[in-house]
Amino acid sequence: MTARDTGKPDSPDWSSGSEQGQELPPAASAWAYPSGPPGWRPTNQLAVASLICACAQAFFWILTGIPAIVLGHIARRQIRRTGENGDGLALAGLIIGYAGSILAVIAIIVLIGIIVSSRTVDYGFSGKTGP
């Protein structure tokens, strides 16, 4: 058939490529990465989010520390599976997340201890006036 018969432009018939001496096209990858220079791999976005959450601990304490830890673990698992970049970012997010969370818990315990001890101290004022 020609282009006039079908209304479509002539294109190679890949189904019968071996008969015509042509090679079949490569199969499409299930994971299509964005194009870039050869050897370029995308950075895992969860690794970036883990590091951002870990750095935000300076302002939000444990509220962003726990997500940093969770995202870091998920990112490292995805990176091992897909071969993306960002393992160092995920590891940094994990380390900072764990360290910040431990420091936040210690600070909360110390603060509670200070509050409890200040309420139990007798400063000698019993409220009595006179003998």
> Tens digits of per-residue pLDDT, 92-116?
999 999 999 999 999 999 999 999 9
Number of domains in the chain: 1
89 occurs within a structural domain: yes
**Which of the four pLDDT bands, split at 50, 70 and 90, describes residue 27?**
low
pTM above 0.75? no
79 occurs within a structural domain: yes
User: Do 97 and 50 contact (CB within 8 A), yes or no?
Assistant: yes
The domain of 113 spans 42-119
* Maximum pairwise Cα distance, the chain: 120
Q: How far, in Å, CA of 68 to CA of 54, rounded?
A: 5
Ranges 3-7, 48-52, 91-95, 110-114: which has the least confidence = 3-7
131 occurs within a structural domain: no
More confident residue, 61 or 43: 43
105 occurs within a structural domain: yes
